[in-house]
A and B are shown apart, each in its own frame.
Chain A
Amino acid sequence: MSDKSNILKKYKIVFLGDQSVGKTSLITRFMYDTFDETYAATIGIDFLSKTMYLEEGKTIRLQLWDTAGQERFRSLIPSYIRDSHVAVICYDITNKKSFLNLDKWIKDVKLERGDDVIIVLVGNKSDLANDKRQVTIEDVESLHLKIGSKFFIETSTKANHNVKLLFKKIAQSLPEFNNEGTENENNTSNNNHNNPETIDITIDKNAPNPQTLNTCC
């Protein structure tokens, strides 16, 4: 791989998923490290970009596309899914329906991009796992294996759990970083889309968050 130290490599990442699963919240937590109980509903598409510092002085620029969740807005989306490197498809672990709808979102993405896009499954609101969980880890794991997504992860934007890790994993999944052994975790990144990696996503509120690995941001 040639020396890219002077050129900021850019990646487009689109966030999809049902209404109010926490797409805006995920992006806001990542961008500004803040959390509000409520964000105004996203209409159409919002755009944000952030530079991420990785190991060995590598820098990449992530372009994040936040979308409206309501079904009818899908007709506005395809034109830019076409260009994205990563589709982060989100659901709410306390809302079974948002999980069942993942099928539709995945179908949309694959229709546009075939297997050419990295799909990531994110179950948000893991802080409510104890009393309100409706989607189990087994549920998402089997979906993950079925569709061949890159990885799946549960996050809590409220408790700031796994959000940085999510973005770090995304960064590591990007084409340029696949064959460079930058990972310092047990699981190794794999550039074969058909053999997706999985990561440990057990929720333990007392344990230190995995994202304290200060490898990004």
Chain B
Amino acid sequence: MPTDQESSTISLNTSKVHLNPNSHNKLNGHQRNESSNSRSYSFLDYYGAESPPQISSGSTTIKKINGLDTESESIDPSTSLDVLDLKDDTLCADGDVINNSKSLDSEHRENYIQPINMASKSEILKSNFDRYGFKKGSTLHNITMEDYNEWFNIYSDSELRQLKKWHLLMKHHGFQIEENNNEEYIPTRFPPRSDKVKKMIRKGIPSSWRGNAWFFYAGGYDKLNKNTGVYEKIVANTRGIKNKDTEVIERDLNRTFPDNIYFNSNLSNNTDLKEEPNLIKSLRRVLIAFAHYQPQIGYCQSLNFLAGLLLIFMTEERTFWMLVILTEKIIPKVHSQNLEGVHTDQGVLILCIKEYIPSLWNILGKNFDGEPLEEDKILIRLPPITLVTSSWFMSLFVGILPIETVLRIWDILWYEGSKTIFRFSLTIFKLCLDSPDFQMNSQNGSSETEQIELFQFMQSFPKKLLDSNLLIDCCFKKIGGYGFGSLSQDEINRCRSFVSKQREKINQKNKNKSLTEMTDEEKTLIGNDIHDIYGFNRSIMSGMVWNKNIRKKLSSHKKK
């Protein structure tokens, strides 16, 4: 049962510590330093000379939150916001006396991501776990450990090159880079939005920077700034509560990342310590707090995956606000009680496929018996393939794609917004359609078999997409790729509002049979000028055809 365990501290993970990478390497390359909890780090050590925090004033004035002011180097928004005013009694539910500076010392956060350098690279290659603690070659990813290592060997080199470019970018924007042998440089603020930054993000954010960068570009500081102390209060108020949501949450905690060493103590070699992992405790608090904060959502399965992955990269409080931002702004209603957002977004996705990959629509636009779907019924009865793709939207590809590929998409998602999910869904579809296996599969067989085979293929295909660079190139490149970067947020928004209006009508109609169906005019429009009615900009992408380069890449990828 929840939350009676942590009597000693309410470990809200409000500060962040990056342990010396060498201390990881003692055990299995991924064992956390068990003694780290008791070590007395000086708060200043964590942030070094970069940002002396002003502990006395719990809410330091934040001059700039979006990194627009490169002069205010001395005030680090993350630090000042992390130093919360804990004076009141909200956190003392169990009689714990919380002393500001002391609690911060003991409530640091461990670093769960192994940074990339030559030494750690060979450690990671030897380990059974990747650098985020996930078992390599799990059945989830349909990839063997050899496959993983072969890929990682090359990928890590490109990531090192990318890291250098990021350093240059940071310097160019006037950030001081503090580097010494023991501490990896991890910025808390980032350059303002620009085409250059967007390009860099599409090429991948260095892994140990990810948490901070996602939070920064998603508008996390803004949220946090307006809600100082809110998370702590919710956690305090929801301690030990039991309701329908907490029951479901409790059952999902250990079913989130059973193949991750930080979420499953059974994976650890150390058999003496079978305590509940810290990240499970954090996950519980975040999910319960979120369910409490967003009662119209409560807890929805798949939020556990989102929160779980975020927790590897950032503190509990930040994870909480990222979930809020996601469900308020990026994919609203997708996790709501009736999953209305899932239905809407699946409708949008289907219309996107119809619009931009008509050859695939010819295959997908059928019911299970292989009969073509009536044009005006598409939104009432979504094609069976949406049974596969619904989870892409709900768990943002976690568990669908290999983890490193998910992270690359998340880099882009938190910066560019929800169009990213549609763009990558289309890319996965197109890659699938263009893959030699699929072409063989779809050539023979009755229509019914075709639908089932397709379903199965679409489900397993993404799990093998370990080559994130290939996926991203295919998505964005106009030459040698599919150019789905042209699908704009504006188009998605218009299409979303169209679909949701249609669904409203359908629901109305179900309630009140006298209301008419889609008007004849709308039916004609759907049949003929689909892009006009949904507001698609097809012309931008017309002539975007299947490119031989991709086929080559795919077959060579497959051979590996």
Contact = CB atoms under 8 A, between A and B. Distances in A.
Contacts of A73: 301, 339
Given A10-B449, A39-B255, A49-B452, 16 more contacts: A20-B251, A20-B255, A37-B258, A38-B258, A40-B258, A40-B259, A40-B305, A41-B256, A43-B390, A43-B399, A45-B387, A47-B387, A49-B456, A63-B452, A70-B300, A83-B368
Contacts of A76: 339, 342, 387, 390
A87 B379 CA distance: 26
B455 interface: yes
Given A49-B456, A80-B387, A70 B301 contact: yes
A40 B339 contact: no
Given A46-B459, A63-B452, A80-B384, A19 B395 contact: no
Residue from the set A40, A63, A68 with the largest chain B CB neighbour count within 10 Å: A40
Given A19-B252, A49-B452, A44 B391 contact: yes
A20 B301 CA distance: 11
A44 B388 CA distance: 7
Given A38-B255, A41-B255, A45-B388, A19 B459 contact: no
Interface string A42-71: 011111110000000000000100001110
Interface residues of A, number: 27
A151 B384 CA distance: 29
A166 B122 CA distance: 47
A39 B248 contact: no
B337 interface: yes
Contact of A72 (B257, B338, B459): B338
Interface of B: 140, 248, 251-252, 254-259, 264, 266, 300-302, 304-305, 337-339, 342-343, 368, 381-382, 384, 387-388, 390-391, 394-395, 399, 449, 452, 455-456, 459
18 contacts: A19-B251, A20-B251, A38-B255, A41-B255, A41-B302, A41-B304, A43-B301, A44-B387, A45-B387, A45-B391, A63-B452, A68-B301, A73-B339, A76-B342, A76-B387, A79-B384, A79-B387, A80-B387
Nearest to B264: A38
A70 B456 contact: no
B382 A75 contact: no
A36 interface: yes
Contact of B394 (A10, A20, A43): A43
A37 B265 CA distance: 12
A45 B449 CA distance: 18
Interface in A64-111: 68-70, 72-73, 75-76, 79-80, 83
A125 B384 CA distance: 32
Interface in A3-58: 10, 19-20, 36-41, 43-49
Nearest to B266: A37
A44 B384 CA distance: 12
B368 A72 contact: no
Given A70-B300, A76-B387, A38 B254 contact: yes
A80 B338 contact: no
B256 A72 contact: no
Contacts of B394: 43-44
B133 to A, nearest CB: 15
Contacts of B305: 40-41, 43
A80 B368 contact: yes
A83 B259 CA distance: 34
A86 to B, nearest CB: 16
A39 B390 CA distance: 20
B534 to A, nearest CB: 23
Nearest to B448: A10
A16 B39 CA distance: 49
B256 A43 contact: no
Contacts of B382: 79
A40 B255 contact: yes
A119 B172 CA distance: 66
Nearest to A65: B387
Residue from the set B259, B301, B302 with the largest chain A CB neighbour count within 10 Å: B301
Nearest to B392: A44
